[in-house]
Chain A
Amino acid sequence: MSILVDGDTRVLVQGITGRVGRVQTQYMLAEGTQIVAGVTPGKGGTLEQGVPVFDHVADAMADVDADMSLLFVPPAVAEAAATEAIEAGLRLLVLITEGIPVHTTMRIRARVEAAGARLIGPATPGVITPEGCKVGIMPARFFQSGPIGVVSRSGTLSYEVSAQLSAAGLGQSTVVGLGADAVVGTDVVDLLRLFDADTETEAVVLVGEVGGNQEERAARFAAHEMHTPLVAYVAGQCAVTGVPMGHAGALVREGSGTVTDKINAFETAGVQVARSPGCVVEAVQSLMSSPT
């Protein structure tokens, strides 16, 4: 099992003929992801690496039956592209695009919620169920199938942590990038809830960072509702107050959002905290060997 995507997921790629979309489609096809259609306005009727391309999502959906849309579109057209996908009936959107203004993201999320759909991202590496379905930009070589769920605010750290889990023989059920912006489509607690309900996920790793209060809310959920054991790592001990550290969401404000706050929240909740990315494997191993 897995969450969000699996080997049966039929994927539509918006922006499939763009610079990033084209290269990433090649990598995804190589991993066996079922890409059933692409959309690029003006390129309808062509083929991209064997995938039929349509001008609009609605045209694609009249021809093929996709389960989700993966978006590699420029920030300026992200809202229009996402709206098209929602209106065409797609219920899972994975929005890779970086640099979308927060007001735009709020409107996209409101439309997604009104339609009862789900949005992962923006500014996410995407979602991978190893050896089943890769929808995103993560290099597949770091991942292997197994019982560990991974939720990460950072793309690169999800690679770093998953690669070390894989090397230790701890494969992943699904790895999800939450997205690095201050407002993202899906709350961390929703993803923990999905992993908790997944019978094959035996432990979850949460990779957090400074800023916001997602880790604090995850800690509360872990303490009161979650049955699956959780390991947390939080990056940004050295972050400077008031300076966004690359990610728009990674901003320590005066008096809140520090790594220390977040580690305290996890420790109070009884969640095992890894002090560095390299300590995650050991923390997971200790949880999985201890009787629950």
Chain B
Amino acid sequence: MRLHEYEGKAILRQAGIDVPAGAVVAAAQAVPAAMQRLGDTVVVKAQVLAGGRGRDGGIEIVAGPERASAAAAGMLQRPCRGQIPMELLIEQRLEIATELYAAVTIDMERGRPLLLLGLGGVDVEDQARTGNLPARLVVDPLTGPSTGDIAELVRTAGAEPAEGITNVLRQLWNVFISRQALTVEINPLAVVADGGVIAADAVIELDDAAREMAGLPLRDDGGSVRRERSGGMTFVELGGDVGLICSGAGLGMASMDLISEHARPANFLETGGGISRELMSRAMRRVLACHGVKGVLINVYGGINPIHKGALGVADVMATGVGVPVVAKALGNHQEETWEVLEAAGVTVVRDVATEAAVAVLLSQMRERTA
């Protein structure tokens, strides 16, 4: 789950990292009042969950309350990187001497945290393209980085003032650990004229699994796609007419790819390993509630999942009259029992192991309905 810039900056400030003075506004009328304590020249920043905002009109430097309000009004109506911001961050303008890039992230291949320090102000992709790669420090997650390790990283990167930057990296590490973050990134980390080191931006991405374990809510990651994760299933609405219920993410993606060769998926839905009668009936109702759904493919394996119990949940919903064809491929432990329940409920059961076959049967039934 990615946090907005202002949420990230609040976390950094709490951890002892300097951030520019700023105010969050949801309407242009609130801008002049906010500027009274920020000065006459401010930076107006769209709060959307995407990088590259500056190149898409999402960051403007403006002087005077009238211009600042006008910039804010425009930004609140215009999509930036595909998302219309609900809020803007109005910040004091910094007199920046040097821009750095500082981050703690995860090296997925090694399975270890990674501290990064380099030149800032450009995208990470640009860093790779221009060869200006940041200095890296792979960290043992059991011990964390020693003060000597961090000082060495700062020396390697040639960053000044060394002490201030070392402190920021230590605090950044503390945020990464205490929030169980996937990424904590400051780009740019601004060195100002008096030698102060200030986080001019903040990107924090938290771990969904850690939040779920702590019982904290997950928020939709923004954008035009709705994603829900609740009660043991992941659901994404996609706008097509072929509904989909799968018992695993890989199978779900493969099924979606196969459907897309001939039609458009209405949704992505995967249950993981938590299938029960209740969950499958909820999954059926969720998919049938998608606007324009004209058929449903159920593609499940009985490995960890008791698909014979899930079949009862499908039958519960079928009994209410669904009005569209439902085709199921259900294989594995208790498959015969599962088929019996599904067929009695009016579901077409495909016994072929290839998902291609089940997709073909469903699409032909959907065509027959419309013909």
Contacts and interface: CB of A to CB of B under 8 A. Distances in A.
A156 B247 contact: yes
Given A99-B212, A125-B303, A278-B356, A184 B331 contact: no
Interface string B286-306: 000000000000000111100
A160 B272 contact: no
B155 interface: no
Contacts of A210: 253
Contacts of A212: 108
A214 to B, nearest CB: 8
A63 interface: no
B86 interface: no
A255 B51 CA distance: 11
B270 to A, nearest CB: 4
A235 B209 contact: no
B302 A183 contact: no
22 contacts: A96-B304, A102-B207, A107-B141, A110-B112, A110-B142, A125-B303, A139-B332, A156-B249, A157-B251, A159-B301, A167-B353, A183-B106, A209-B253, A212-B108, A235-B257, A236-B256, A238-B253, A244-B227, A244-B234, A246-B272, A250-B250, A278-B354
A159 B225 contact: no
B141 A182 contact: no
B208 interface: yes
A155 B354 contact: no
Max chain B CB contacts within 10 Å: which of A101, A163, A213?
A101
Given A156-B251, A246-B272, A254-B51, 13 more contacts: A20-B304, A96-B304, A106-B113, A139-B303, A157-B254, A160-B301, A185-B111, A207-B250, A238-B257, A245-B270, A246-B268, A250-B250, A276-B356
A115 to B, nearest CB: 12
A160 B268 contact: no
A235 B304 contact: no
> Which secondary structure characterizes the binding site on chain B?
mixed
Interface of A: 20, 24, 27, 75-76, 96, 98-103, 105-107, 109-111, 114, 125, 137-139, 141-142, 152-157, 159-160, 163-164, 167, 180-185, 187, 207, 209-210, 212-214, 217, 235-240, 242-250, 254-255, 276-278
B111 A245 contact: no
A235 B253 contact: yes
A156 B301 contact: yes
Contacts of A107: 141-142
Given A110-B142, A156-B301, A159-B301, A103 B236 contact: no
Contacts of B270: 245-246
